[in-house]
Structure formats: C-alpha cells, structure tokens
Amino acid sequence: MLSGTLIKDTFSGRELLIYLPPSYQTGAKRYPVLYVHDRGDLFDPAYSGSLSAIEKLCSNHELPELLFVGVAAENRESEYTPFSEPHLIKPGQTYGGKGALYAAFLAHELKAYIDRSYRTDPRRESTGMIGKSFGGLISIYTAYLASETFGKIGSLSGSFWFSGMIEFMRFQTFENANLRIYMDVGSTEGTDRSNLQKEMIPRTKEAFRILTESMMSREDLKFVIDEGGAHRLERFAKRFPEAVKWLFGPCHNNAQNDRSF
C-alpha cells in the first residue's frame, strides 16, 4: 500500500497523474520534480510496483522524496518524434515530428503550471524528465532544446533507431552541459526486427558515445544494459526505481557503466 498520494489533474486538455510523497501533506517543504511521459505509466500502480519500490528507497534514505508528474500525450508518435519521417509500419504515413513544440510546452507552460500549483523546487538541478521507448527519445531531444530547464534526464530503451536522431546529436551541443543523464537498453531489443528497429542496441550505444563527448563530466552519465531485457513495459518499470535513484539520489559516486562496449 502506498504511503504517498496519487491525484489526477489536467492542464491544457492533457491528463496528468501526480504523485505527492508521504510528507507532502504535513509540512511546507518543496520537492524535486520528475516529469514522466506517457501519463506516468512507469510509476502508475496500475501497471507495476515501481512506485512502492521508490517509496522504500525513500524510507531507507537512498533517495529523497520527490514529486512525479505523469504527462499524457496527445499523439505520442507525433509529439515524441523530433522530425517528420516515414512511418516504419504504416505505409504512406509519417511520424509527426512535433518534438520541438512538445519540448517547449513542457519547459515553458506545463512546468510553470506545476510550479505554481504544487510545492516544487523549481531549480533546474531539481527538475528532471524521463520516459521509455519514444518517451526516452524525446527526453534526450528535449535535453538539447531545454537544458536550461531540465537538469536530469532519463531514457529507458530510447528509440534511437529513429532516422536522423544520431546525426542530429553529432552536430548539437547543450546550452547547459551540466546535466545528469541515465540511459539503458535491453540486450534482446531489436533482435527480432528486420526494419530500422534492428539497430536499437548499436544506435543506443552510439548515442551514449556522443553524449560522453558533449557532457562536462563523464561521472554524470550512466549506461545500463538489461541482460535478457525485451522492449516491454514491465522491464522498463522494473528498471525505473534504480534510474530515479541514480538521477536524484544523495550519492552520485556510482557512475560506472554496468557493462563496457
């Protein structure tokens, strides 16, 4: 049973799933905030026990209490993609490529609403973003566009196979390179595909290599390979608590990669 509180909110026509930590109702403290794509399915108890695991980390003082904001997409294949590209599965259709508009909405509209509606710590070093699959892709893309707003970024099995993303990263720099970034991928992802998605693992590794050259500190980067992991929500949610712990935990000396490549 959760100790914190889950509430449903809306902003600009979008559903929000807000998690308030246990101490929120009893004091005046301000909390770090983690924005989670796909309406927070990574922490939603309807899908996994990841939130209970996070509360345990907090009670053990391995992670400070924080506020989660799950943000629903209007059209994830449009908003979570950086560029308009031909669809891999639907002939004659395209991915919408409205990632820049979505990133601006998060950084300038939604964050302002959350900061005035809840007791947040609005500083960039206390503000993060995380997602899985296309949500992981848009998290990294948003880091390039709004690193002055989001200081912590998580990408769980980010869709770096997406055409043009690696090339974009090679020629971009962060406005504020003092970021903390977590990335992971399952060791079986893409192995059953014959389209661009078969490049899931090598392109994720390449994205990480590019980040190591763009960041101010290698210690603020972490890359994990989930042995046996497939592209499934249950695997993402299982890795979610440790990703949050690494991004927001009090001890930041565990930045060694779990597997070299």
Residue 193 Rama label (left phi>0; alpha psi -120 to 50; beta) = beta
The confidence score (pLDDT) of residue 257 equals 41
CB-based contact 44:100 (threshold 8 Å): no
Q: Which residues pair with 222 in a beta bridge?
A: 182
10-residue stretch averages of pLDDT, the chain, 261 residues long? 95 98 94 98 98 97 97 97 94 95 98 98 98 98 97 98 97 92 98 94 97 87 97 98 96 42 36
The confidence score (pLDDT) of residue 254 equals 39
CB-based contact 133:157 (threshold 8 Å): yes
The confidence score (pLDDT) of residue 251 equals 57
The confidence score (pLDDT) of residue 140 equals 98
Task: Say how many C-beta atoms besides its own lie within 10 A of residue 151's C-beta.
Answer: 22
pTM assigned to the model? 0.95
Torsion of CA 33, 98, 179, 198, to 10 degrees: 110
* Superfamily the domain 5-248 falls into: Alpha/Beta hydrolase fold, catalytic domain (3.40.50.1820)
Concatenated DSSP letters of 29-74: --B-EEEEHHHHTTT-TTT-SHHHHHHHHHHTTSS---EEEEE--S
Q: Which residues pair with 15 in a beta bridge?
A: 10
The confidence score (pLDDT) of residue 214 equals 86
CB-based contact 152:127 (threshold 8 Å): yes
SS3 185: strand
